Structure 1
C-alpha cells in the first residue's frame, strides 16, 4: 500500500508545485480481479509546499493517508497518521544526476480534447512500464511546475519532465491510465482552483509524535530479520484500517 501511495505522489509530481497556490482533486479508479474501486486524492500547494490527501478504497479497506512535502525537508515525504497522531519521515532519493534512475521515454500519440481542455495524449514509459497520459496547457500556471519536485522527488520525475518538455507535452495532467494483466488504474482530474491555501495545512500538528522513519536505501542493506522487524513496525503504524 505504501508503494502505491508513493507511486501516486510521483504521478502527481508532474502536475504542479511551483504554480503560486491552489488545490487539485483527482478521482482514481483501480481495477483488478473483477472488481473496481474508486479512490480520491486532493493536493494543496503554495510556495513549494505540498499536502497530498489520499483516500484509498480497496476490498475490505478504507485507508486515508496524508503526506507533506516541504522545502525545508528535501528528499523527504512526511506521512501523517491522524488515528495515532504520529508522523513518519520517508526518505526519497533525488533522481537528478542519479545513474541508477529509471529511464523515461515519452511518445506523442496525438491531440485530443478532454473535459473541454485541449490535451496532448502521450505514452510515458518508465522502468519498462508504459502509461497513457493526457496533459494540457489550458490551465494557467503550468510553466512554473516542477521546481520542488525535480529537486526532491524520486522516481525519475526530472527525467520525465525533461522528456515531456522535449516532446512539447508538458502541462497539467488531466488523465493518467496505467494498465497491467492484473488490473490497472485510471486517474481523472476532477477539480482545479487557485484559491488561497491556509499555511496551517502544511504544518505537522504540535501534538503529533515522531514515529519510525523509513529509508528505502537502509532497508536494502538490512539482514532479513532486521528488514522484517522494520516492516512490522511500519505496518503496525500505518498498515491498519483508518
Structure 2
C-alpha cells in the first residue's frame, strides 16, 4: 500500500498540471468559498469491515456523503451496496479497481462500463458524472478517456490516511488531526470503507470525531451532486 501511495502521489502531480493545461475535467475541491465539506468514501478492495459502522454514524448524525464503489466490491458485498444506494449517491470506481494508467484506452472503457453496470443494476443508482480513479492514479490520457464517457474525474483535497493503518504510524487521533489541519471551504475528504492491511478501522472509528470537529467549526456537509458536472 505504501508503494501505491508513492505511485498515486506522483501521478497526481502530473495529472494536476496536465488537466489544468489541457482543460480536462477534473475536480479536487468544491467550487465554493462557503463553509461546505464533502465526505467521500471509497470501496475498492475486497474488505468492507468499516462500512456498517460508517453507515450507522452517518445516519445517526444526519450527514450526507458520496460513495465511490468498484463493481468487484459490490459483487462481494451486495447487501452493503444496496444499503448505500438507498441513501447516498454512488460514483464509478471501475470494476476491477486496477491502476488505469497501465491499461489501454479500450480496457479503461470496459472497466468503467462494467463498474457502472454493477452500480446501476445492484443499487439503482446512476454513477454519472462521478468517477474516481483507483489509487488516484491517472494521467492526461486516462482523464480524457473517462471524460469522453461523460464522467468528471473526482479527486480529493484531504486524504485522512486512515487506510494506512496503525502499523504505518496512523491512529484515530492522526485522522482527526489531519482533518483539523487541512479543513477549508470546499474540501473533499477521502475516507475508506474497508480495513487497512493491518486490520485497523481508523476511518470508521474516527468518523464521529471528524463530524463533530467539522460542525464545531461552522461547516456544513454536502454531497458532490450540484457541484460536479459532466464534461462539456
* TM-score category, normalised to shorter length: under 0.3
From the CA coordinates, give the structure whose radius of gyration is larger: 1
- Greater strand percent: which structure? 1
The TM-score, its normalising length taken from structure 2, stands at: 0.28
- Greater helix percent: which structure? 2
